[in-house]
Each structure stands twice: as C-alpha cells, then as structure tokens.
Amino acid sequence: MKQNIGNTERVIRIVVGLAITSLAFIGPASPWALLGLVPVATGVFGWCPPYAMLGINTCKHKS
C-alpha cells in the first residue's frame, strides 16, 4: 500500500470523519454515523482504495 493521499487531505479526512462519527454519540444516534470511520481510517493510513483504482495521487513527490 503506497501512500496516495497528501498531508492536507489526510488532516481534512480525519477531522471530517471524527465529526461524522461523533454524531453516533451526540445528536441523532444513528448507526450511519459510524461511516465516519472510513475517512478516519483512510486519513490515518494515507491510502485510499478508490484513488488507487483510479490512479489518483494527491501526494507531493520529492524529486
């Protein structure tokens, strides 16, 4: 698994994912809020399977 998500996008994914997941505990306690774990996981690992399949890479490469 080669990293294909840049640092800025990783931070955004983690923050948004935690906000969505927090809805399971505060707000409308719906199991759908657990879908927020997906962006958290992709942000933590820095690898997104759909990006890999589509050939998208938002990482900055050092020359």
- Contact between 53 and 33 under an 8 Å Cβ cutoff? The reply is no
Task: Give the whole-number percent of the chain exceeding pLDDT 70.
Answer: 97
Q: What distance in Å separates the CA atoms of residue 6 and residue 32, rounded to the nearest whole number?
A: 27
Tell me which of 55 and 29 has the higher pLDDT.
Answer: 55
pLDDT at 35 over 50: yes
pLDDT at 63 over 60: no
Mean pLDDT of the chain: 90
pLDDT grade for 28, boundaries at 50, 70 and 90: confident
Tokens 């589509």 correspond to what residue?
54
Closest CA to 5 of 63, 51, 58, 62: 58
pLDDT at 62 over 70: no
